[in-house]
Amino acid sequence: MDAGTAFPDAGSDDVPAIDALPRVAIRATPSVQDFEAIVRAETPVVLKGLLQAWPALAAGRTSAGAMNAYLKGMDVGALAPVMEAPASSGGRYAYGPDLSEFSFSKRQRGLTETLDRIERLIGDPEAPFVAIQMLPLASHLPDFVRQNPSPLLPPHITPRLWVGGPLRTQTHNDRDHNLACVVAGRRRFLLFPPDQVGNLYVGPIDNPPPLSLVDPEAPDLARFPRFRQAFAAAQVADLDAGDALFVPKYWWHHVASLDPYNVLVNYWWGDGAAGLERANDCFLTALLALKDLPPGERAYWKAMFDTYVFREGGDAVGHIPRGLQGALGPMSPALRAALKQQLKTAYLRSPT
């Protein structure tokens, strides 16, 4: 089943085909200032033709051989992260049967030899699905970074390379913003807002990255009925070579490579918090401290979070003089430092 096929008959008459979903908004190449506004808006946007000035794009539009030759000419010899799934997977990078492992293997291999292997496998129906993923270009192909600078991001935000065949990467999200740039082939991104996590049937968080168990191209709606709500909130973006997609942090995305050979470069940034200010660590602490409390206590802490952290009811501290609002009010640097010290002391006293 391809990425545009309607869902199979499983009581799903109210669920349209992926092609019928709303499209992600398209923008011409923005200025750096306009892009900063796009990031602040926290909404996906397709940036049409963003990479037109890249020499890599010319190679990618020529052929797989030309693109590979371009990349191999800059190979400094460092090993590359290589993923491989058997032909029986259909190119779907997902969980294995028991969720304790994935359907693909991970290993380190030479970049040039892997590019040659990917090219040899094109068109072979019995071939495994081999991909180079998350290759840090600054260390492995520094000339690529010099020749193909980002038109929107500062140099300290460095890119990564993804090369492979017609793969399907199962729905997941990132703690960073993501600018995904298609250099060769075509890609389809199916995007779900962060608040759809409860409708995506996400796997175990201690086996990262946590993936949705639902195949959005052929969902089992009898097993995953809430996926209807997720699909109703979804958007789709089809990218040609030269296009880019801004995916805000925490947006769930399923990625389909639509051609026999595909190359993507992406940039991650925005998860700069450290130590006690890391939101994910705060979430894990909440799992430890709050999840198993009695219902009444959980309700109390939910109200506290809603009122003072997420501020759903508006200003909950305006009746308190500004100098006495403490951590409930605006956070000055001195107040942040004092609160972190208080928490450090508390955690040090915690029994193991």
Last residue of a domain, one of 269, 289, 307: 269
The first and second tokens of residue 124, run together, are 């072979």
Same domain for 54 and 131?
yes
Establish if 110 belongs to a structural domain: yes
pLDDT at 348: 85
Same domain for 210 and 288?
no
pLDDT at 32: 96
Establish if 11 belongs to a structural domain: no
Same domain for 181 and 308?
no
Last residue of a domain, one of 236, 269, 302: 269
Same domain for 261 and 343?
no
pLDDT at 218: 93
Same domain for 40 and 103?
yes
Full domain range(s) for residue 300: 275-349
Establish if 13 belongs to a structural domain: no
Whole-model pTM above 0.85? yes
Total domains in the chain come to 2
| Backbone torsions φ then ψ of 264, nearest 5 degrees | -135, 145
Name residue, tokens 């939101």: 279
Establish if 59 belongs to a structural domain: yes
pLDDT at 10: 37
pLDDT at 347: 87
Q: Which residues of the chain carry a pLDDT beneath 70?
A: 1-16, 352
Please report, for the domain that includes residue 53, its CATH number.
2.60.120.10
Q: Where are the beta strands (DSSP E) in 73-158?
A: 79-85, 92-93, 105-110, 129-136
pLDDT at 7: 42
Widest distance between CA atoms in the chain: 72
Helical segments of 248-294, H only: 279-289
pLDDT at 12: 47
Last residue of a domain, one of 269, 288, 320: 269
* Cα distances (angstroms) measured from residue 263 to each of 60, 61, 135, 165: 8, 10, 12, 9
The helix (H) or strand (E) run that includes residue 69 is: helix 64-72
